[in-house]
């Protein structure tokens, strides 16, 4: 384990709440695996302006950003990379010679996770949801050359995202008419403690070769269980978390992320059951 001293570089995650976050365990495992004198901690932040001033004053080395600050942080940054600007959200801050530069690695995480089981270019992928996660996933898929369909309960919000992505929109009431090569649940449906819920009828899942759920608590959601039963290949939410975290690590350090060390600590947190340990 890293011995913290006067030369230790400090990273962290800001959000509210953050007590449940798996990012500290994942990133500290990565730092330890490469014997880096760095540490990663969680900061529960309600006053974002004060937090950013503190980050600058204390000289933190890099940040992860989570709910509810992914959009709110943008005006406080010195620069936002074009991809993050297009998505309209920042989940990673790199400190570059005292300048705070915003990035988004959520789309990288989603694309990389899906690409382990399917080709993305030219494939038709249905995204459930129209919130921030759906935006990042949809942007990444479009960048990879996939055809995207947005399915959402709220028509106005779903249509707005579909127009931004140059994608098709189908209201949730018409989801039985939708099919594709892949399906991504970008909603919180099925997350603990409501893990018995499923975002669409299980009998529809056979229409998709691949099903991915961004929910990772539990790791095996009802959606994924029923997808396996329907003969689909599945991707759980830990994979997206892993790959977006690996992209963050590489932005901060310039080194290749130790994926197996990071994956090991994540899966270890769920060993013996579906919930976080």
Catalytic residues: 70
Identify the sign of the CA torsion 118, 120, 123, 125.
positive
Q: 126 and 180 in contact (C-beta within 8 Å)?
A: yes
Closest by CA to 184, choosing from 217, 154, 140, is 140
- Compute CA distances 75 → 12, 50, 85, 126, whole Å: 20, 13, 11, 32
Does an H or E element contain 151, and which? strand 147-152
Q: How many other β-carbons are positioned within 10 Å of the β-carbon of residue 265? A: 20
Helix, strand, coil percentages, rounded to 5, for the chain: 40, 20, 40
State both tokens at 129.
């949801």
- Looking only at the bridges linking them, the beta strands covering 92-96 and 62-65 are antiparallel
């Amino acid at each position: 384990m890293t011995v913290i001293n006067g030369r230790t570089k400090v990273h962290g995650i800001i959000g509210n709440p953050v007590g449940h976050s798996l990012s500290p365990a994942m990133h500290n495992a990565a730092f330890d695996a490469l014997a880096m004198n760095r540490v990663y901690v969680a900061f529960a932040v309600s006053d974002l302006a004060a937090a950013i001033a503190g980050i600058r004053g204390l000289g933190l080395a890099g940040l992860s950003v989570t709910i509810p600050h992914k959009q709110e942080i943008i005006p406080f940054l010195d620069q936002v990379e074009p991809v993050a600007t297009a998505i309209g959200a920042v989940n990673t801050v790199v400190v570059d010679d005292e300048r705070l530069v915003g990035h988004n690695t959520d789309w990288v995480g989603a694309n990389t996770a899906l690409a382990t089981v399917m080709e993305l270019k030219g494939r038709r992928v249905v995204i459930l949801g129209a919130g921030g996660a759906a935006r990042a996933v949809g942007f990444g898929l479009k960048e990879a050359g996939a055809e995207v369909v947005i399915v959402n309960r709220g028509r106005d919000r779903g249509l707005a995202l579909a127009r931004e992505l140059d994608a098709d929109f189908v209201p949730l009431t018409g989801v039985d008419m939708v099919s594709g090569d892949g399906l991504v649940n970008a909603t919180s449906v099925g997350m603990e403690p409501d893990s018995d819920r499923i975002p669409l009828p299980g009998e529809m899942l056979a229409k998709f070769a691949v099903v991915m759920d961004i929910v990772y608590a539990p790791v095996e959601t009802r959606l994924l269980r029923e997808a396996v039963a329907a003969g689909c290949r599945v991707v759980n939410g830990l994979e997206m978390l892993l790959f977006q975290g690996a992209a963050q690590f590489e932005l901060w350090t310039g080194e290749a992320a130790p994926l197996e060390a990071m994956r090991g600590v994540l899966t270890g947190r769920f060993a013996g059951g579906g919930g976080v340990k």
